[in-house]
Amino acid sequence: MDAPNEFLAGHQYRFQDQDDEALLIFEGDTPSDAGASTLAAGDEYTVTYRNGAIWAKSSDALSVVGIEDLGPETGNTIDGGTTALLKQNFAAANAIAASQDEPASQTDQAATYGQLQDALAQFNGPDGASLIGYQRNAPGTMLLDLQSKLDQVVDMRDWPIRADDNDHTADIQNALDEISRVGGVLKGAPGTLNCGNLRLTGSGVKLDLAGTTLKFHGTAAAGSKLGLQLFGTVDALHVCGGRFICDGVLANGHAGIWSNSGIVASNVFIYRNYVKNGINGISCNANLSGSFRNARIFQNVIDGTVGVDSGAGYGIHFADGSGQPIGAQIFENHIINATRHSIYFARGIGGNVFGNQIYGHRSTVADGSIRPAINALRCSDVNVFDNTFCEPNDGGMMIGRTGANGLRNRAYGNTFKKSAASNSVPCLMIGSQNPAAIITDQGDPSVGQPEGAPSSTTVENNHFDIDNNTCDPIRVYCGIGVKIKGNTGNVSNVAVGSQAIYVYGTGGDTYNANHDFEDNSFQLPPSAVIARLEAGLVGTTFAMRFRRNNSDYGVPAFACAVAMNNPNIGIFEQSASGLSMSSGIYPKGRYAMKSIQPFGPVTVPGSTSSSLGTLTTNFSIAGVKKGDQASVSFDQIGTAIEVMSAYVNSNNNVRVILLNLAPTSTALPAGNVDIEVRRNTVDY
């Protein structure tokens, strides 16, 4: 046959079913130009021509898989090469027929290739792979056509993309458009490819850039960035193994992988990439519109960023403003010298930030401002744990609040290492320096509201190694229901009056309430204390519970900056020697309070045969009650004074007795008595 749609007059043809049985032998007529011919055998079969191949439709729904030219009418001779017919599995032929013919003729169809020499041109054509079946030799696999199998992996080298000095933006974009259309895997081209901004969208897409470096050039459009941009509706998308090299020029706006508000993304995986010197390393941004759910950002290396102002300088940035749980996971990334935040969880409900290694945060731009390495802001139900901070400048971590979010966040199991090489901004901070500030960003859902204080925040089992630095390991600027438990540290060479935990009290009682300090243990120099309450917390509504905190160095565990009149401070299971508190009322739990009172100079009379040498002095201490237990010491006491004791003789009054057993009187210089009062009450 000269062509697959030409039946030769005078020749006999045989239809074959999938068992290679002859269904009918007939003498062919010459087909019409319309592409269809009624065969001579009782009009029982009709053949139709589609794209150069013969499609046979059986009115009896017979499974026709082949048409064979038997040669001239005698049937005794078959010309060479005329018997190569469709011998494939019939299911594959039906699948091909269903995908290529119009719906009206998809029932009981079968495809035939005609004779082999006529089919070769089709196999070599652009649609040839769709005519060949493919099935992996493994149990349970599915029969495909070869084109479908090939479409599962697209290679950038299918386009003229090579590692040279040319700009490959257009060709790479064509490859990205193709994989977005068909789904599957796009393999990168090896080497360094020069390009501008690239855009990727789609579902079921994997961009495998192992061995590929994208070197960006040019300037981003106003209000935009330049890099690999994710956009549109995205689902089950992977970007992995690539190197993204930005030019490090802030004005050019290069970013490794980024998106803008408006994207609707789910199940996005970004992993094992390397990004250098972008304004953002990776930015998954749906802050003001759209959503970004179930993102996984892991095992990436971000090697430096540029920019210090809002929107720039982020190693990894994540924001979802949808108000729905989003389940973001940011883990096991290495971030070096980010210039604003190493990881910025800017907005979202639900997520984990864990196992990340952060080195030299803001080491080249440190200025003492608060720009922590990990900033969890405007987010709720986010866990930040098992991260390591090496020499963070301008803060290690902050958990804050802006508007409605800032609820139930946790920081636990993190390790902070600081030396004189980094500055004194605290390692771990809770709350804002100005919680009463009104939000003015018109794009923020909380515009017009105060920033507020984070609520129900837990800071637990973190460890701090700080040497030759004046920073606080933990500082609570403000918060409602902050729980600080089980944190440990080794702090040396700090300034006099330093502390491990500083409750700063920004915003006063309005933004500070119900703190718990429990089982914290720090090795501190003698001049420091474990926890300190700032003078701003002088009202009567602030509540705090303090239990089992200690220092191996024996320094005071707790200090109040000023006298307080607060019935809501509870101190439990805390050694009296570990407290240094100003006078006030602390009536909850088993507690101990100290009051430092000036005393002397005095003379204690000597003992005689008729009376002991005693001196009795009363001290007025607000809040003590008759029945409390009191003890006293005097920093100028002499060796001749054998006994110094104290008791509460009436409400708000402590009586101190000095006993001199020597026969001569003893003069004591001016000094201070340290009076400690304990009370046992119902625990909380």
119-141 confidence digits (pLDDT tens): 556 666 677 777 777 676 666 66
What confidence tens digit (pLDDT) does each residue in 363-404 have? 999 999 999 999 998 899 999 999 999 999 999 999 988 767
pLDDT score, position 567? 57
In a domain, 89, yes or no: yes
Average pLDDT rounded to a whole number, residues 298-303: 96
Task: Report the share of the chain in percent with pLDDT over 90.
Answer: 39
- Asked if residues 305 and 275 have their Cβ atoms less than 8 Å apart, the reply is no
pLDDT at 104 over 50: no
Please indicate, yes or no, whether residues 44 and 182 belong to a single structural domain of this protein.
no
- Asked if residues 557 and 551 have their Cβ atoms less than 8 Å apart, the reply is yes
Please indicate, yes or no, whether residues 202 and 342 belong to a single structural domain of this protein.
yes
pLDDT score, position 507? 79
pLDDT at 418 over 60: yes
Looking up residue 341, the CATH number of its domain turns out to be 2.160.20.10
What confidence tens digit (pLDDT) does each residue in 247-268 have? 999 999 999 999 999 999 999 9
pLDDT at 591 over 90: no
Please indicate, yes or no, whether residues 179 and 93 belong to a single structural domain of this protein.
no
pLDDT at 505 over 60: yes
In a domain, 446, yes or no: no
pLDDT at 6 over 50: no
Please indicate, yes or no, whether residues 222 and 285 belong to a single structural domain of this protein.
yes
pLDDT score, position 95? 35
Determine the length of the chain. 684
In a domain, 588, yes or no: no
pLDDT at 526 over 80: no
pLDDT score, position 84? 26
pLDDT at 457 over 80: yes
In a domain, 587, yes or no: no
- Asked if residues 54 and 43 have their Cβ atoms less than 8 Å apart, the reply is no
What confidence tens digit (pLDDT) does each residue in 45-92 have? 334 333 333 334 333 333 444 555 544 443 333 333 232 233 233 333
In a domain, 453, yes or no: no
- Give me the amino acid identity at 328: A
Q: How many CB atoms lie under 10 A from the CB of residue 126?
A: 8
Average pLDDT rounded to a whole number, residues 263-278: 97
Please indicate, yes or no, whether residues 342 and 214 belong to a single structural domain of this protein.
yes
User: Which residue, 114, 149, 184, sits at the end of a domain?
Assistant: 149
In a domain, 189, yes or no: yes
- Considering just the CA atoms, what is the radius of gyration of the chain in Å? 41
Higher pLDDT, 10 or 240: 240
pLDDT score, position 62? 39
Q: Worst-scoring range by mean pLDDT, 359-373, 496-510, 648-662?
A: 496-510
pLDDT score, position 672? 86
pLDDT at 563 over 90: no
Please indicate, yes or no, whether residues 18 and 126 belong to a single structural domain of this protein.
yes
Question: Average pLDDT, whole number, for the chain?
Answer: 76
pTM exceeding the 0.85 threshold for the entire prediction: no
Whole-angstrom CA distances from 468 to 369, 428, 472, 495 are 20, 17, 12, 9
Higher pLDDT, 570 or 313: 313
Please indicate, yes or no, whether residues 212 and 344 belong to a single structural domain of this protein.
yes
- Give the E-state strand segments of 575-669 in sequence order: 579-580, 584-585, 591-599, 602-604, 613-620, 629-634, 641-650, 653-660, 666-668
pLDDT score, position 671? 87
Name the range with the highest mean pLDDT among 289-293, 510-514, 524-528, 544-548. Answer: 289-293
The count of domains in the chain is 3
- Asked if residues 353 and 377 have their Cβ atoms less than 8 Å apart, the reply is no
Q: How many CB atoms lie under 10 A from the CB of residue 666?
A: 19
Higher pLDDT, 528 or 327: 327
In a domain, 244, yes or no: yes
Its sign, for the CA torsion 72, 76, 80, 85, is: positive
Burial class (CB in 10 A: 0-12, 13-18, 19+), 165: exposed
Please indicate, yes or no, whether residues 141 and 262 belong to a single structural domain of this protein.
no
Domain coverage including residue 607: 597-679
Please indicate, yes or no, whether residues 96 and 196 belong to a single structural domain of this protein.
no
Please indicate, yes or no, whether residues 225 and 128 belong to a single structural domain of this protein.
no
Average pLDDT rounded to a whole number, residues 555-579: 56
